Amino acid sequence: MLVFKFGGASVKDAAGVINLGKVVNSYAGNKILVVVSAMGKTTNALERLTTAYVNQQDDLNQIFDEIKEYHYSILSSLFAPGHSVYDEVANTFVEIDWAIEDEPHDDFDFIYDQIVSIGELVSTRIVNAWFNQEGIASKCLDVRSYIHTDNTYREGVVDWDKTRESIQKDVPALLEKSIVVTQGFLGGTSENFTTTLGREGSDYTASIFANCLGAESVTTWKDVPGILNADPKYFTDTIKFDELSYQEAIEMTYYGASVIHPKTIKPLQNAKIPLLVKPFSDPSAPGTIIREGAVNAFTKPVIIVKQKQVLLSISTNDYSFISEVHLSEIFGVFAENQVKVNLMQTSALSFTACIDYSLDRFTKLLATLKQSFKVKYNDELTLITLRHYTDSSLLEITSGKTVLMKQTNRNTAQVVIK
């Protein structure tokens, strides 16, 4: 039994959907569960829509119309007028119509999950309809009935026992009859509200299903030839890894490597299920395999770039030393606002932390911290992490840059630059 995950880039247009069908069809004879992300940059667009709704912006309906037009243009390239999928997609978008008719809810994260989740619900309906039109027997599942989470919106915590029970109850029998298509990134609460599993969380969805079903492997289909030592958007001389160990993959995702969601690896490692990262444009290419016992060979450092960073400097109001009591309070505020610390340093009088910028969370974080501490910050920064660095590679990365913070150990160097 195989689990495939297709990201937004693989289904950004009609040609991508057609190619997805060809890739899946080339594995005919296998039991396959397909996890699909929102199409193209739909998640980004739905995030803008969410912000426009919360702020009651004048361009709210314009943003929504553009999202619908994008999907209907894909539909018109794949299906004849009158196909039932048009109504399925329209009815799915109605859920947003209902949401934005009401006054905004106080909880931004709750609103975010109810609106942004529509991207995956629409994409899977389109992919499932295309499969069936092409003679590939397919069943579309609503993942919210199978991956059960708590009420931590935007970072849903999976109830593994309940999730495993639901998946094992229904999915194996369905796989005997057809391909199963479901949504990445999403979960459901006991109150039947939608949660999301964290940005780019479709990989995690695939690993949850694989773990619960005892899959032979998980394959994530990407727009890159495999896992590279650096993002080709920023670096031209990248190299591909043929294989990586689970441990190294976990380290890379922890520091922000975007090719795999950070929570993806552990469920696979626990069940010793290999993860393949392959190019959807060349399905026969070997890609990269992450597996138990893989030999890591690093002829170049792994370089991970995180944009839109904020560097916070937190000190006491009376210039006293930063103590364990202060740090406990500070970390409590970070946890309360679901803000992850990417890099931190402590001096006698201050605590410095580098975090991802998210307007709503940062605003709340800052307001709470200022109740007890003095806070200064720099924004629009970049955090660069080098795994298996050399002195020369670190010098090359920082040459000509203003370094605001630097931290090194035997294997990893991190710098915050402006």
Side by side, the strands of the sheet bearing 2-6 are 138-140, 179-183, 32-36, 2-6, 217-222, 275-279, 288-291, 243-245
The residue-averaged pLDDT of 380-402 equals: 96
Q: Domain 2-291 is classified in which CATH homologous superfamily?
A: Acetylglutamate kinase-like (3.40.1160.10)
Asked if 313 and 377 touch (Cβ cutoff 8 Å), the reply is yes
- Tokens found for residue 377: 């910050």
Which residues are CB-neighbours of 71 under 8 A, at least 6 positions away? Answer: 39, 42, 89, 122, 126
Q: Transcribe 36-64 into DSSP letters.
A: E--STTHHHHHHHHHHHHHTT-TTHHHHH
Q: Which of 343, 251, 226, 354 is nearest to 301 (CA)?
A: 251
Tens-place pLDDT, residues 337-347: 999 999 999 99
What's the DSSP call for residue 17? Answer: H
- Tokens found for residue 191: 């109150």
- Three-state secondary-structure class, residue 307: strand
Tens-place pLDDT, residues 74-127: 999 999 999 999 999 999 999 999 999 988 978 999 999 999 999 999 999 999
CATH code 3.40.1160.10 region(s) in the chain: 2-291
Q: Tell me, what's the pLDDT at 307? A: 95
Tens-place pLDDT, residues 211-250: 999 999 999 999 999 999 999 989 989 999 999 999 999 9
Cα 68 from Cα 96, distance rounded (Å): 11
Length of the chain: 418
Q: Is 90 exceeded by the pLDDT of residue 160? A: yes
302-417, which class in CATH?
alpha beta
Q: Tell me, what's the pLDDT at 320? A: 93
Asked if 261 and 196 touch (Cβ cutoff 8 Å), the reply is no
- What are the start-end ranges of the H helices in 1-41? 14-25
Q: Tell me, what's the pLDDT at 360? A: 85
Phi/psi class of residue 192: alpha, beta or left (left: φ > 0; alpha: ψ in -120 to 50)? left
- Tokens found for residue 112: 């975010």
Q: Is 90 exceeded by the pLDDT of residue 258? A: no
Q: Tell me, what's the pLDDT at 6? A: 98
Asked if 221 and 5 touch (Cβ cutoff 8 Å), the reply is yes
CATH code 3.30.2130.10 region(s) in the chain: 302-417
What is the average pLDDT value for the chain, to the nearest integer?
96
Q: Quick one: CA torsion of 139, 144, 149, 155, rounded to 10 degrees?
A: 100
- What are the start-end ranges of the H helices in 257-376? 265-271, 324-336, 359-369
Cα 346 from Cα 315, distance rounded (Å): 10
pTM: 0.92
Asked if 148 and 188 touch (Cβ cutoff 8 Å), the reply is yes
- Sign of the four-CA dihedral 56, 59, 62, 66: negative
- Tokens found for residue 215: 């899959």
- For 52-69, b where at least 16 C-beta lie within 10 A, e where not — what string? bbbeeeeebeebbeebee
Phi/psi class of residue 283: alpha, beta or left (left: φ > 0; alpha: ψ in -120 to 50)? alpha
- For 250-277, b where at least 16 C-beta lie within 10 A, e where not — what string? bbbbebbbebbbbbbbebbbeeebbbbb
Cα 184 from Cα 197, distance rounded (Å): 9
Q: Is 90 exceeded by the pLDDT of residue 328? A: yes
**pLDDT-derived band at 196, boundaries 50, 70, 90:** very high
Q: Transcribe 339-370 into DSSP letters.
A: --EEEEEE-SSEEEEEEE--HHHHHHHHHHHT
